[in-house]
Amino acid sequence: MAQVVIENLVKVYPEKKGPGVRAVNDIDLTIEDREFMVLVGPSGCGKSTTLRMIAGLEEISAGTIRIDGRVINDVLPKDRDIAMVFQNYALYPHMTVYENMAFGLKLRKFSKADIDQRVKDAAGILGIESLLDRRPKALSGGQRQRVAVGRAIVRKPKVFLFDEPLSNLDAKMRVTMRTEIAKLHARLATTMIYVTHDQVEAMTMGDRICVMKDGNIMQVAAPLELYNRPANMFVAGFIGSPPMNFLRGTLRTSGGRLEFVENGSHAHPVHIALDEELARRGAAYVDKPIVFGIRPEDVIDTVAAGDVDPSRCAHVRVEVSEPMGHETYLYLDTGAHSFVARVRSSDRFQGGESLRVGFRLEHAHLFDPQTETAIA
């Protein structure tokens, strides 16, 4: 087992003309011993590049990476004591499952008995004992992924690296496999670093999540910390499905209370009287632009909810109603902004219908529109 420490890590891809493309921008990150760390972000954010530098598959432009206290910048990939599971499985088609899992151990001159024991132990953990004599073409996508994970397990490495391993699977199999990988982490009690663009995978699997954008780290925290206390608008909008709603406006004083007033030239802009906590946070932004953030589950149908403070309500128009089975997503329009509400599946609405919604302010957020950082 091992701690992984990344300090001032930079990756620049050179160009014939110009300073080059900066894929990873001077990041610092510590993955603790036995931790399941998820790197998440949109395509091109630098997460896979970071993982590949840890693996030794990409050259480091600047900075250091330590595994178990040892600087590995110039250590060959085979000598880093890591194992990597790739997106495309990378199985040898002419070898059986057993041979695929044993191949790396044979190269390292393990004894036949040790190889046999490790392969069978890993197959037992993953439930693929009956597949050991098959070749990859005779396996389903989920079975191939298990073999790829098994090939990593037999190495007994200090660190496991996963590069979007579930992206080639169908939705149902992804749910199954992410549960299997989470259980595997609990069973092996080893350090794992997992890259994905899927925030649902990140939220359900990680001990902590590192959210990246444009080669920078936006926030590192436990899943619920990210969800409930995002550091900025990017994290707030990326984590959560549907994502957080943002309304742009100004803070005004009215009747001795501080209220958010929506931007827009329409006749009835949204006015939301802030509670004591939000008013405290926004005190320095009176008569200044601000962004009001609220998650879909905190936008409520006032008819269903009953008694709701009218100073914290808005009249909106339903654009689209999306029944999801156990809940319904309502896409709403204020006249200046579109936003989403998550309501009960029993609530029925039609496009074009008028609706009065309320806002649960205990879960609302305020953001600086210039820096996009959360106002604490």
Q: Which tens digits make up the pLDDT trace of 150-198?
A: 999 999 999 999 999 988 888 888 888 888 899 889 988 999 999 999 9
pLDDT band at 305 (very low <50, low <70, confident <90, very high): low
Contact 202, 40 (CB under 8 A): yes
- Identify the pLDDT of residue 1: 63
- Identify the pLDDT of residue 368: 97
Phi-psi region of 369 (alpha: psi -120 to 50; beta: other; left: phi over 0): alpha
Question: Which helix (H) or strand (E) segment is 145 a member of?
Answer: helix 141-153
Contact 238, 229 (CB under 8 A): no
Range in 31-35, 208-212, 294-298, 312-316 with the lowest mean pLDDT: 312-316
**Given a cut of 90, is residue 222 above it in pLDDT?**
yes
Beta bridge partners of 332: 318, 339
> What pTM was computed for the model?
0.90
- Identify the pLDDT of residue 253: 93
Q: What percent of the chain has pLDDT over 90?
A: 75
Q: What percent of the chain has pLDDT over 70?
A: 98
pLDDT band at 267 (very low <50, low <70, confident <90, very high): low
Residue-by-residue DSSP string for 159-219: EEEEESTTTTS-HHHHHHHHHHHHHHHHHH--EEEEEES-HHHHHHH-SEEEEEETTEEEE
Contact 50, 63 (CB under 8 A): no
- Identify the pLDDT of residue 11: 97
- Identify the pLDDT of residue 306: 63
Q: What is the mean pLDDT of the chain?
A: 92
**Given a cut of 70, is residue 72 above it in pLDDT?**
yes
**Given a cut of 70, is residue 256 above it in pLDDT?**
yes
pLDDT band at 303 (very low <50, low <70, confident <90, very high): low
**Among 15-19, 60-64, 169-173, which range has the highest average pLDDT?**
60-64
Q: Which tens digits make up the pLDDT trace of 329-349?
A: 999 999 889 999 998 888 788
**Given a cut of 90, is residue 218 above it in pLDDT?**
yes
- Identify the pLDDT of residue 308: 76
pLDDT band at 264 (very low <50, low <70, confident <90, very high): confident
Q: Which domains does the chain have, with CATH numbers?
A: 4-238 (3.40.50.300), 245-367 (2.40.50.140)
